[in-house]
Amino acid sequence: MLSLAAVSAGYGSFRALFDVSLDVEAGEAVGVIGPNGAGKTTMMRVISGLVPMDAGAMTFDGRSLDGLSAHRIVERGIAHVPENRRLFPRLTVEDNLRIGAFIPQARAKIAERMAWVYDLFPRLKERREQLAGTLSGGEQQMCAIGRALMSGPKLLLMDEPSAGLAPLVVQQVFDLVRRIRAEGLTVLIVEQNVQQVLEVVDRAYLLEVGRIHLAGSSAELKNNDLIRRSYMGL
Amino acid sequence: MDIYLLEAVINGLLLGGVLALLALGLNLIFGVIDVVWIAYADLVMCGMYAVYWLHVAGWPLWAASLAAIAGVAVLGVLVHVLIIAPVLRAPPINQLLATGGLLFFLQSFTTLLFGTDFRNIGVRLPIIEMGDIFISFARLLAFGFALVGAVALYVFLKRTYLGVAIRAISQDREIMGLMGVDQRRIYLVTSLIGGALAGLGGCLLVLQYDVHPFLGNTFGPLIFMICVLGGLGNMIGGFVASFIISQIISIGGYYYSTEWAYVLAFTLFIVLMFIRPRGILAR
Ligand SMILES: Nc1ncnc2c1ncn2[C@@H]1O[C@H](COP(=O)(O)OP(=O)(O)O)[C@@H](O)[C@H]1O
Ligand SMILES: [Mg+2]
C-alpha cells in the first residue's frame, strides 16, 4: 500500500534519513522504533509531504507521492497524527474535528464521520464544546486521532501517540490503536514504548541515525537480543 | 446630561463601527498571514475613489459601492500575490518595507491620476433630528453596514470550513497541510476578504469625508493603533479598542478640538503600550 524506496531527506545541508526503504501492506499495522533523534519524525513528515525528499521514491496505492504537497497527500488517503498531538488549542474539540474534514471528499461525509469518531471516543462527545487546550493529555490524544480520522484515511500515521502520558493512559492509547485497526485502517506507528508497541503491530523496523538497521515481525523482534537489551531493558 | 456631549458620544459610537470594521480586516490579515498591511487605509482610499468616480460617471450609489468592494477585494489579492507572497519568509522588517512601499505607491499613483484635490461625492443624505439631537444619516448608514460586515465575517469564520481553517492557521501554521488545507489558498481568500472589508470601509467613508490621495495618512495610523491596542491579530480586542478610541476622539473633540483629541488618543496609546504591551485584552 505504502512503499518507500531508498528515501533520503534532511533539513538544509543536514541529512536526517539515508536510503530508507519501508513497506506497509493494506490492513497491516507496522511499527518504527528507534532512539531519540533517529529520524522517525522526519520519516513521517517526508511521507506526509512536510519535508521534501532529496532522493528515492515513494508510492501509495501504486501511485507516486513524489513532490506532492501535504494537502494533496491527505486527499490521497493518508492522515497523520503528529508528534505532540498539535491540536489547535483555542478551537473547540468539535472545530478541531471539523478541520480534520477539510478536504472536499470528507466534507460530504462529515456528519457520519463525526458520529463515528464520537462513537469511538465518547469522551470527546462530552467535551465537544470545550477548547482543545483544556483537555487532559489522554483526551488530547483521542482528539488528535479523531481529527485525523475525520479525513477518512486508508492509512493512519501516528507519531509517538503514547509520549508524555501517564502509564495508565498509555495503556488506553494502545487499546485505541487496536480499535482503529479493528475498524479496518492500516497503521504506521512510531513509538519509543517498544515493549507495548510490539504487542499491537504485525511488523516493525528499527531506525537508528537515519538508517533502517533491522526489520522483522513483532515476534522476531521481541526475541531479538539487540532489541531486548537496548530498547526493552531486559 | 449635556445634549452636545450625548451627540458626541453617539457620533463616537457611529465612527467606532467603521473603525471596528477596518480593524477587523487588518487583524484578519495579520492573524492569518502574519504580515501587517501598513497600506491598509490606502486600499480604503482606493475604494473611496472607485465609488466617487463610478458615481460621477452616473452609476447609482449601490452599484458603485458593490463594484468598489469587488475591485478592492481583487486589489487585496493582487497585493498578496505581487507583494506579500514574495516576502512571506523574509524578515519582518523587509515585509514592513514592502507594504510601506505599497503605501507610497498608492498615494503617488492616485496623485498622478487624480491630483491632490479633495473630492466630495456630493450625495446629500438627510440629518435626522431626535429631540434636540442631530444625527447624520450617512454616519448611521455607515455604522449599520459596518455592523452587517462584521456579523457576516463572524458567521463566515464560525460556520464555514474556510472560516475554521482561518481561525486555526495562526495557532499552528506548520500542520495546516496535514489537515488537507492548502495554505496558499487560505492566504488568497484572506486577502480577498481583507480587501473586500477595506472596499466596504471606503464605501462608508466616502459618504462622510472628502477623498484625496493622502486620506490613508489620517486613518492608517488610527486603525493600526487600534489593532495594536487590542492586540495584533486579536479580532475581539480590536473591536473593543475601536470603540474606546472613537469615543476619545469624539468626546475629546467636543471638549477641546479634534487635533487635541488625536494627541490624547495617541498619548493614551503610548501609555497603554507600557502597561499592556500585548494589548488591552492580552491573554
Ligand atoms: N526542523 C529541523 N531542522 C533541522 N534539523 C532537524 C529538524 N527536525 C529534526 N532535526 C534533526 O533531524 C534528526 C532527526 O530528528 P527526528 O526526525 O525528530 O528524530 P526522532 O523523531 O527519531 O526523534 C535529529 O538530529 C534532529 O536534530
Ligand atoms: Mg520524533
| Pocket residue to mutate for ligand 1, from A13, A14, A205, most atoms within 8 A of Cβ | A14
Among A228, A56, A43, A74, which Cα is nearest to A151's?
A74
- A19's torsion region: left (phi>0), alpha (psi -120 to 50) or beta? left
Residues A144 and A162 in one domain: no
**Ligand nearest to the CA of residue A83, numbered in listed order:** 2
- A27 and A67 in a single domain? The answer is yes
Chain centroid, CA A87 distance in Å: 15
Lowest mean pLDDT: which of A100-104, B49-53, B153-157, B264-268?
Answer: B264-268
What pTM, to 2 d.p., does this model score?
A: 0.91
Average pLDDT over residues B262-271: 89
Pair (A195, A218) in one structural domain: yes
User: What pLDDT band is residue B122 in, cutting at 50, 70 and 90?
Assistant: confident
Q: Is it the case that residue A233 has pLDDT exceeding 90?
A: no
**Average pLDDT value over all residues in chain A:** 94
Whether residues A26 and A95 fall in one domain: no
Sign of the Cα pseudo-torsion (A64, A69, A70, A73, in order)? negative
Residue that terminates a domain, selected from A137, A153, A169? A153
* A44 touches B at CB < 8 Å: no
Residue A83 counted as domain residue: no
Task: Confirm whether A220 is domain-assigned.
Answer: yes
Domain that holds residue A111: 89-153
pLDDT computed for residue A228 by the predictor:
87
Q: Into how many domains does chain A fold?
A: 2
Same domain, A166 and A62: yes
HEC string of A159-184 equals ECCCCCCCHHHHHHHHHHHHHHHHCC
At residue B131 the predicted structure's pLDDT band, cuts being 50, 70 and 90, is confident
The answer to whether position A82 is within a domain reads: no
Residue A94 and residue A180 share a domain: no
- Same domain for A113 and A169? no
Q: Are A149 and A156 in contact (CB under 8 A)?
A: yes
pLDDT-wise least confident of A73-87, A90-104, B30-44, B259-273: B259-273
Q: Determine the residue among A41, A90, A99, A140 to mutate to test chain B binding: the one whose Cβ has the most chain B Cβ atoms within 10 Å.
A: A99
Confidence class for position B238, pLDDT limits 50, 70, 90 = very high
Helix (H, G, I), strand (E, B) or coil at A11: strand
Closest C-alpha among B38, B40, B46, B45 to residue B99: B38
Query: What pLDDT is stored for residue B109 in this prediction?
Result: 96
Q: Does the beta carbon of A82 sit less than 6 angstroms from any atom of ligand 1?
A: no
Give the mean model confidence (pLDDT) for residues A71-81.
97
**Residue labelled with grid coordinates 533491522:** A214
State the cell numbers at B211. Answer: 477623498
Rounded average pLDDT over A139-168: 94
- For the segment B142-148, the average pLDDT, to the nearest whole number, is 94
* CATH number, domain with residue A159: 3.40.50.300
Examine the fold and report which residue of A103, A126, A153 is the final residue of a domain before the chain moves on: A153
Give percent of chain B above pLDDT 90: 73
Ligand number nearest CA of A38 is: 1
Distance A145 CA to ligand 2 centre (A): 17
A163 and A73 together in one domain: yes
**A84 in a domain, yes or no?**
no
Residue B265 has pLDDT above 70, yes or no: yes
Give CA–CA dist B149/B196, Å, rounded.
10
Answer yes or no: do A130 and A40 share one domain: no
Mean pLDDT of the A4-29 span = 95
SS3 A139: helix
**What pLDDT shows up at residue A93?**
97
Judge whether residue A106 has pLDDT over 70.
yes
Kindly state if the Cβ of A17 falls inside 6 Å of ligand 1.
no
Q: Which of B168, B171, B181 sits opposite A71 (nearest CB)?
A: B181
Atom 12 in ligand 1: residue holding the nearest Cα: A16
Q: pLDDT grade, residue B283 (50/70/90)?
A: low
How many beta-carbon pairs below 8 A join chains A and B?
A: 63
Query: Same structural domain for residues A46 and A104?
Result: no
CB A149 within 8 A of CB A117: yes
**Is A114 part of any domain?**
yes
pLDDT at B1: 67
pLDDT tens per residue, range A176-201: 899 999 989 999 999 999 999 999 99
Same domain, A21 and A110: no
- A11 in contact with ligand 1, CB cutoff 6 A: yes
In a domain, A106, yes or no: yes
Gap between the terminal Cα atoms of chain B = 37
Measured in degrees and rounded to the nearest 5, phi and psi for residue B38 equal -60, -30
Q: Does A90 touch chain B (CB under 8 A)?
A: yes
In three-state secondary structure terms, B273 is helix
pLDDT at B282 over 80: no
First to last CA, chain A: 34
Q: What ipTM did this prediction achieve?
A: 0.93
Cβ atoms of A42 and B148 closer than 8 Å: no
Q: How many residues does chain A have?
A: 234
Domain termination site, one of A130, A153, A176: A153
Say if residue A176 is in the same domain as residue A140: no
